[in-house]
């Protein structure tokens, strides 16, 4: 049988599996299998040559039983409604597992930001917000950055929204630059949260991170900071890294500063010369202690899961491991830490940003990190304790299924108490 790779179908399959094990109410299950609201918009943008080009955009509110929708906006040439629906479902589970007062949502625009100049990008960002402005707001649905969207884009969006509603509405979006009241620590928060999970996972696996070798797939916001923080925080060595054009591997480790310089000058990580060139697929199969998929979906599938040699898989991207691969990794005894736990640091600090915006009182960076650590460690323990509870009932479940049981259970309870079923 060919493995299902449609991300929305995957998100439904993961939910179905957890629903069966936890004995989820049928109506709650049906409500949680589909988004609550899907919006598709057509966004016109005046291009540099005077012509007007239209872009298709989406905003999906998956569930808001526990609070306003929350989730990023992606600008990507291969964006699709199904990807955005899947990502909005994963945001629902992410905010629930972290136990923060939000539901889940996601947005996206089909475009290639690398082909747009700054004026076009600003215009697209502002016009997209105009198109969806009735669907969002600090108490309705709060966007944030994701693949190929930046703090600058968040600032334009906040400005556009504030103009539309006629007041300063900083809390309508998170991941803003600190000059317009983004939170300290937001930029590297996804990677930081992932490192707290790695610290706890390593304890469980009795892996000394000081001597650990790490391979990172992806060198965007999450991957780049993961590299920097992994070395600084734990003394581990990053021996391989990649981006969309391919990867590099050096047994003795890769020098972060030199790599950043090489990538800036040459456009990709392979511009770093003191390492061997490898493919993105080869990177995942390296003989290392930890692999960190920090790029896109469906990277570890039934096809390559058996070839993974690492002790820990830290899913910093959204959806990098398919359900079939999750099962294989679990059977092989590899500790695969699920995406909506590992990369929850981003949305947790987004929550701090929203809270600070509403209070008008701002926290120091170390306050942000220590509160983030507390929440991520609590989520990790919730997942591992649930896995243990089921094991005591002689039901063996992967950390992903355990995470689903915790997250889905909380959303279902909120829906029940509110009277949705
Ligand atoms: N885009 C990030 C994620 O997938 C952050 C979302 C947010 O901060 O709302 O978790």
Here the CATH number for the domain that contains residue 318 is: 3.40.50.720
In 157-270 the beta strands, taken as DSSP E runs, fall at 213-217, 237-243, 246-249
In a domain, 383, yes or no: no
Instruction: Quote the crossing angle between the two packed helices 81-97 and 365-392, to the nearest 10°.
Output: 90
Residue 135 sits in which domain range? 36-172
Is the Cβ–Cβ distance between 222 and 147 less than 8 Å? Answer: no
Same domain, 123 and 251: no
Within-domain flag for 368 = no
Compute the distance from residue 401 Cα to the ligand 1 centre, in Å.
Answer: 21
Distance 322 CA to ligand 1 centre (A): 20
Is 162 in the same domain as 226? Answer: no
Is 116 found in the same domain as 83?
Answer: yes
Contact 168, 176 (CB under 8 A): no
Q: For ligand 1, what atom is nearest to the CA of residue 143? A: 9
Is 72 a pocket residue for ligand 1 (Cβ < 6 Å)? yes
CB burial string 335-365: b at 16+ within 10 A, e below:
bbbbbbbbbbbbbbbbbbbbebbeeeebbee
Which residues, in sequence order, are CB contacts of 286 under 8 Å at separation 6+? 215, 239, 240, 249, 278, 309, 310
Check pocket membership of 144 for ligand 1, CB cut-off 6 A: yes
103, 142: one domain: yes
Q: Order of strands, edge to edge, in the sheet holding 52-63?
A: 37-46, 52-63, 104-110, 69-76, 141-145
The answer as to whether 386 is a domain residue is no
For residue 87, the ligand 1 atom closest to its alpha carbon is 4
Assess if residue 320 is contained within a domain: yes
- 332 catalytic? Reply is no
Q: How many domains does the chain have?
A: 2
Q: Is residue 57 part of a domain?
A: yes
The domain spanning residue 48 has which CATH number? 3.40.50.10860
Is 209 contained in some domain?
A: yes
User: Of the residues 289, 309, 342, which one is the last residue of a structural domain?
Assistant: 342
Q: Of these residues, 106, 213, 263, 311, which one is catalytic?
A: 106
The pLDDT assigned to 116 comes to: 98
> Does residue 361 lie in a domain region?
no
What was the pLDDT predicted at 382? 98
Taking each helix axis from N to C terminus, what angle separates 189-205 and 345-359, rounded to the nearest 10 degrees?
130
Q: What is the pLDDT of residue 296?
A: 87
Query: How far is the CA of 232 from the CAs of 116, 206, 227, 239, 274, in angstroms?
Result: 35, 20, 9, 15, 21
pLDDT tens track of the chain, all 421 residues?
889 999 999 999 999 999 999 999 999 999 999 999 999 999 999 999 999 999 999 999 999 999 999 999 999 999 999 999 999 999 999 999 999 999 999 999 999 999 999 999 999 999 999 999 999 999 999 999 999 999 999 999 999 999 999 999 999 999 999 999 999 999 999 999 999 999 999 999 999 999 899 999 999 989 999 999 998 888 999 999 999 999 999 999 999 999 999 999 999 999 999 999 999 999 999 999 999 999 989 999 999 999 999 999 999 999 999 999 999 999 999 999 999 999 999 999 999 999 999 999 999 999 999 999 999 999 999 999 999 999 999 999 999 999 999 999 999 999 999 999 9
Residue 381: how many CA atoms within 13 Å on its side-chain side? 7
* pLDDT value of position 415: 98
* Residue 123 domain flag: yes
Residues 168 and 194 in one domain: no
Domain's final residue, options 313, 342, 371:
342
DSSP code at position 173: S
Contact in structure between 235 and 241 (CB atoms under 8 Å) = no
One domain, residues 77 and 199: no
Same structural domain for residues 232 and 309?
yes
- Same domain for 105 and 193, yes or no, is no
- Is the distance from the beta carbon of residue 154 to the nearest atom of ligand 1 less than 6 Å? no
DSSP state of 69: E
Give yes or no: residues 152 and 279 share one domain: no
In the prediction, which pLDDT does 233 show? 86
Closest CA relative to residue 194, chosen from 330, 340, 92: 340
Same domain? 133 vs 224? no
From ligand 1's centre to the CA of 214, what distance in Å?
Answer: 24
- The CB of 146 under 6 Å from ligand 1? The reply is yes
Last residue within a domain, chosen from 288, 315, 342 = 342
Q: Are residues 140 and 224 in the same domain?
A: no
Asked whether residue 163 falls in the same domain as residue 238, the answer is: no
């Amino acid at each position: 049988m060919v493995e299902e790779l449609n991300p929305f179908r995957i998100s439904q399959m993961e939910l179905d599996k957890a629903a069966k094990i936890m004995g989820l109410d049928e109506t709650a299950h049906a409500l949680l299998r589909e988004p609550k609201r899907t919006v598709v918009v057509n966004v016109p943008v005046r291009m540099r040559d005077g012509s007007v080009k239209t872009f298709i955009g989406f905003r999906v509110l998956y569930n808001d039983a526990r609070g306003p929708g929350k989730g990023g906006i992606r600008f990507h040439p291969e964006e699709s409604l199904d990807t955005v629906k899947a990502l909005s479902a994963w945001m629902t589970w992410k905010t629930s597992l972290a136990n923060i007062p939000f539901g889940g949502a996601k947005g996206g625009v089909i475009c290639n930001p690398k082909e747009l100049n700054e004026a076009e990008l600003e215009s697209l960002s502002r016009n997209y917000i105009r198109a969806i402005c009735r669907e969002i707001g600090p108490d309705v649905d709060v966007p944030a950055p994701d693949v190929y969207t930046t703090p600058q884009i968040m600032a334009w969006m906040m400005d556009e929204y504030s103009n539309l509603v006629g007041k300063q509405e900083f809390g309508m979006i998170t991941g803003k630059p600190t000059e317009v009241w983004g939170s300290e620590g937001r930029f590297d928060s996804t990677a930081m949260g992932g490192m707290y999970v790695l610290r706890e996972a390593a304890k469980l696996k009795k892996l000394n991170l000081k001597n650990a070798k790490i391979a990172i797939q992806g060198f965007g916001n999450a991957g780049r900071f993961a590299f920097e923080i992994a070395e600084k925080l734990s003394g581990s060595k990053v021996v391989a890294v990649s981006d969309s054009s391919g990867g590099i591997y050096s047994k003795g480790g890769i020098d972060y500063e030199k790599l950043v310089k090489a990538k800036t000058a040459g456009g990709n990580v392979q511009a770093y010369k003191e390492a061997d060139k490898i493919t993105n697929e080869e990177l995942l199969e390296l003989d290392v202690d930890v692999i960190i998929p920090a790029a896109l979906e469906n990277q570890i599938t039934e096809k390559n899961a058996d070839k993974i040699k690492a002790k820990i898989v830290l899913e910093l991207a959204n959806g990098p491991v398919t359900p079939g691969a999750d099962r294989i990794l679990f059977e092989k005894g590899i500790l695969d830490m699920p995406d909506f736990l590992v990369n929850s640091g981003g949305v947790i600090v987004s929550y701090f940003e929203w809270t600070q915006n509403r209070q008008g009182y701002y926290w120091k960076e170390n306050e942000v990190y220590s509160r983030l650590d507390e929440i991520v460690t609590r989520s990790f323990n919730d997942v591992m304790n649930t896995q243990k509870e089921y094991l005591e009932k002689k039901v063996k479940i992967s950390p992903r299924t355990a995470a689903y049981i915790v997250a889905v259970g909380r959303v279902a309870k909120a829906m029940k108490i509110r009277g949705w079923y």
